[in-house]
A and B are shown apart, each in its own frame.
Chain A
Amino acid sequence: MSVKDPYVKVLDLEQTLADLTAMVDQLQQERSDLEIALTTAIEHGDAIEAQLETANRQLKNEVRERLIVERQLRDLVTTITQKSRDLEVVLQTITEHADQIDLQWLGRYIESENAARRDSLTGVANRRMFDECMAREWARARREREPVALLICDVDFFKSYNDLHGHQAGDDCLRRIAEILQSVLHREGDLLARYGGEEFVILLPNTDLKGALQVAESVLRAIRQAALPHGASSVADHLTVSIGVATQVPADADENALFAEVDRLLYIAKQQGRDRIATVSNVPPDTP
């Protein structure tokens, strides 16, 4: 075993001391580094936390604002939806209302149109409607080469009737005469009209003289059978009528020729004593 001398031993201790010192320095350095790292990490964490806190606060504000906006939008949608629903109902109300009013006007129009073509006393067609029908039937008959028959019935001594029985009775009489004349007509298209005063016309489309005479005789018979009392007639003790009858196949557009002919025949029936029918078969064409 070797034994070192004291000098060597001192050298070893110095060396050891130096090593230890170096180690201490290193450890101190490491410790310092660790402290810096730790401090840095802590400070960094604080900064991140603060940042997150700020971001969190901002997000919360944003969420709150968005909830407010959402609520406002919901209210707006509700309002708009309600207004839209209201508008739909108002539109429907106005449209249906307009339709109802149209119907109301149409009804009044039809009523007034009918009234304009009806005789207010007797309810039968008036002269206006007769003129329209006559023109229409005349044109149709001319096209199809068919006869058109016309009767003019005039109540005999009607002025005397009015003078004796009064105008109210005169009106009642005309109503009754209209009913009787109407009861004689059975074909669709035959038209009875009050032409004016105590004068009635009967238009018989597509009817020859024989058919027209049958209608005229039915009228005369029905009036006689009704035996409406007439206290001022010089031909009977009841109401009578005189009738002119003619028929023509239209040769031109002038329907007035037929009317003039029937009017002439009526005049002759009156001249010949009333309460009768005058037609071309019993009256020569040139009789005034």
Chain B
Amino acid sequence: MQPIQGEGYLVEFDPNGDRVRMSGSLRLGGLSEYAPISDLLDQAIDGREALTLDLRALEFLNSSGIATLSKFVIHVRNGKTCQLTVVGSNAIPWQGKSLNNLKRLMPSLELVFDA
């Protein structure tokens, strides 16, 4: 799976670590522009029992981005086959509240914050 790279952001899948890393500043316009990232996430969980979404270096995410993540979490929850872990950072202000809301969508989601 090829990484998705744009101006100021990178989304990459590490199959060995069962991990998708998002970094930089994601400010794409609307859900349609997030479709390639959405596809990468869907492919990442395909046939996988566990996946970690590493957002520690994602400094900025706009509203369409958090909507894309929300849809992905609902998709994983409904699939009932993959254990999802989201790793965030306390140093990034937006992550505290928004990532906790993702856990409300999927109570079995494991949320880990780095200091």
Contact = CB atoms under 8 A, between A and B. Distances in A.
B98 interface: yes
B19 to A, nearest CB: 23
Interface in B61-108: 61-63, 66-67, 70-71, 74, 93-94, 96-98, 101-102, 104-105
Interface residues of A, number: 14
Nearest to B102: A93
Nearest to B94: A100
B60 A104 contact: yes
B93 A97 contact: no
Interface string A66-108: 0000000000000000000010011011101110110110010
Contact of B101 (A96, A98, A104): A96
B67 A94 contact: yes
A98 B65 CA distance: 11
B27 to A, nearest CB: 10
Given A100-B98, A101-B62, A90 B93 contact: no
Nearest to B96: A100
B63 A103 contact: no
Given A86-B105, A89-B101, A89-B105, A97 B60 contact: no
A104 B63 CA distance: 13
A93 B60 contact: no
B101 A101 contact: no
Chain A binding surface, main DSSP class:
helix
Interface residues of B, number: 18
A96 B60 contact: no
Given A86-B74, A93-B70, A103-B93, A98 B105 contact: no
A97 B98 contact: yes
A14 B22 CA distance: 126
B63 A94 contact: yes
Contacts of B66: 93-94, 97
B98 A90 contact: no
Contacts of A100: 93-94, 96-98
Given A100-B94, A103-B93, A104-B93, A90 B67 contact: yes
B97 A97 contact: yes
Contacts of A96: 97-98, 101
22 contacts: A86-B74, A89-B70, A89-B101, A89-B104, A90-B71, A92-B101, A93-B66, A93-B67, A93-B70, A93-B98, A93-B101, A93-B102, A94-B70, A96-B101, A97-B66, A98-B63, A100-B93, A100-B97, A100-B98, A101-B61, A101-B63, A104-B93
Given A96-B97, A100-B93, A104-B60, 14 more contacts: A86-B74, A89-B105, A90-B71, A93-B67, A93-B70, A93-B101, A94-B67, A97-B66, A97-B94, A97-B101, A100-B94, A100-B96, A101-B62, A101-B63
Interface of A: 86, 89-90, 92-94, 96-98, 100-101, 103-104, 107
